[in-house]
A and B are shown apart, each in its own frame.
Chain A
Amino acid sequence: DQQVKQNSPSLSVQEGRISILNCDYTNSMFDYFLWYKKYPAEGPTFLISISSIKDKNEDGRFTVFLNKSAKHLSLHIVPSQPGDSAVYFCAASPEGGGADGLTFGKGTHLIIQP
């Protein structure tokens, strides 16, 4: 049972436009959410996170929105740049949990078109 779902395996966006990556979760115990970014031949790297007490967290061009009632979060990248082309993993952790309790989605391959 996939508790963290990224239903779009890939997404193509034009450079300069907004990229929106979506993530849904089913476990209501999840309390902390993270996005990781992965380039080919490299391991995932932490991008941004959000706690369930917030509905928005912003870091430069990256903003994560959380809708707890819908069990949905999204990552917005504005403006999109060629270097943003990568696989993005959504991850979730239960309340009181941490790195040992992370559940990852399958990832979305973002392609930024010049």
Chain B
Amino acid sequence: DSGVTQTPKHLITATGQRVTLRCSPRSGDLSVYWYQQSLDQGLQFLIQYYNGEERAKGNILERFSAQQFPDLHSELNLSSLELGDSALYFCASSVGAGGTTNEKLFFGSGTQLSVL
């Protein structure tokens, strides 16, 4: 158990809909990262929050947004969903801001999103 909690584990929805994925980081971790793993793709970095502020942005679509709340949990909002958004979405956390090479990520077990 990594200590990172993601809910829900599975989500099935229709095109055009909006969903929210939730992540609670490990106790004491200040950074939350969101990754997308599509079929035949590696883990694609979407966005990172550190202590409530956006820290780094990757290949995140404009239809997607995230935020980190004062209690440090994070939510990833996906809107106007398309078939191609079907993927496994991982949340990870780390202690600091992520700027050091020896800082490890701890991953949650992911949310499997299916857009029909």
A-to-B contact residues, CB < 8 Å: 2, 4, 6, 31-32, 36, 41-46, 49, 51, 89, 91, 93, 96-107
Nearest CB in chain A to that of B4: its residue: A43
CA A100 to CA B95, docked complex, whole Å: 12
Not counting A46-B105, A96-B101, A100-B31, a sample of 12 additional A-B residue pairs whose C-beta atoms are within 8 angstroms of each other reads: A31-B101, A43-B108, A43-B109, A44-B107, A45-B106, A45-B107, A99-B33, A99-B104, A100-B33, A101-B98, A102-B105, A104-B43
Q: Quick one: closest A residue to B110, CB to CB? A: A43
Q: Which residues of A contact B106 (CB under 8 A)?
A: 43, 45-46
**CB of A41, distance to nearest CB on chain B (Å):** 6
Contacts of B42 in A (CB 8 A): 2, 4, 6, 89, 104-107
Task: Please state if B40 and A98 are interface contacts (CB–CB under 8 Å).
Answer: no
Chain B residues closer than 8 Å to A43, beta-carbon distance: 2, 4, 90, 92, 106-110
Find A102's partner among B2, B45, B100, B102 (CB 8 Å cutoff): B45
- The size bracket of the interface on B is 20 to 34
Chain B interface residues (CB < 8 Å from chain A): 2, 4, 31, 33, 35, 40-45, 48, 55-56, 90, 92, 94, 97-110
A4 and B104 alpha carbons, distance in the complex (Å): 18
Q: Are B2 and A45 in contact (CB under 8 A)?
A: yes
Chain A facing B: main interface SS = mixed
Supply 18 A–B pairs (Cβ within 8 Å), ascending by A.
A4-B42, A31-B101, A42-B109, A43-B2, A43-B92, A44-B43, A44-B105, A44-B107, A46-B105, A91-B43, A98-B103, A99-B104, A100-B55, A100-B99, A103-B45, A104-B45, A106-B40, A107-B42
